[in-house]
Amino acid sequence: MRVITGKAKGIRLNTLEGMDVRPTTDRVKEGMFSAIQFELAGAEILDLFAGSGQLGIEALSRGAKHAVFIDQSKKSLEIVKENLERTKLSPFAELHQNTAEQYLQSAQEKQFNFVFLDPPYRKQILPEILPKIVHLLKPEGKIIAEHENSCHFDEKISGLLLQKQYFYGKIGVSVFSAEENGT
């Protein structure tokens, strides 16, 4: 697993070992970022379910201004911290050990251009968590969610519009925006 492009291009990232860990493949990550590459400069990023932090780090490497990394696992956040130090992107990041739900309840004043979601598979977390994120999106903000390809969403979900879906074998990526933006 590595940073694909930008300031930290080619730097290998650490990840936790084990059956519960499922890093985003380079192919999927490249697809996610090619869709938003021209919108990243100066963006505020939320990497919810951060894991190794690779999605937020990729965004920072490509010009995002700041990223918030959330994970309930202390070990995951230690890996994120190592990866941020390795890529020299630590000054542009903040880390919080919280569940996604706890963070979303406490982050009333925060606003993000992009929210990356890569929750554990087979737990059906996305339908529950998506409506809780709408209030954190800046105008024209987007949620980019990685999920199993069998996970399907309605065109409208509690204030969100499903804009696009991409499929890469067993993995799906869905892009949402706030319903009032409609773009």
Q: What is the pLDDT of residues 122-139, one digit of tens each?
A: 667 888 899 999 989 998
- Per the structure, the complete domain to which residue 116 belongs is given by 26-178
Domains held by the chain: number: 1
Beta bridge partners of 12: 2
In a domain, 183, yes or no: no
63: domain CATH number? 3.40.50.150
What is this structure's pTM?
A: 0.91
In a domain, 5, yes or no: no
93 phi and psi angles, rounded to 5 deg? -135, 155
| Model confidence at 159: pLDDT above 80 | yes
**What tokens does 52 get?**
């190794």
In a domain, 51, yes or no: yes
**pLDDT value at position 19?**
42
Instruction: Extract the runs of DSSP E, i.e. beta strands, from 72-136.
Output: 93-97, 112-117
In a domain, 18, yes or no: no
In the chain, % of residues over pLDDT 90: 57
Nearby residues of 112 by Cβ (< 8 Å), 6 or more positions away: 43, 44, 45, 46, 68, 136, 137, 138, 141
**pLDDT value at position 160?**
92
**pLDDT value at position 29?**
85
Mean per-residue pLDDT, 54-60? 96
| Model confidence at 180: pLDDT above 80 | no
CA distance linking residue 94 with residue 85, whole number of Å? 12
In a domain, 128, yes or no: yes
In a domain, 10, yes or no: no
Q: How many angstroms separate the Cα of 48 from the Cα of each of 1, 7, 117, 145, 182?
A: 19, 22, 5, 10, 23
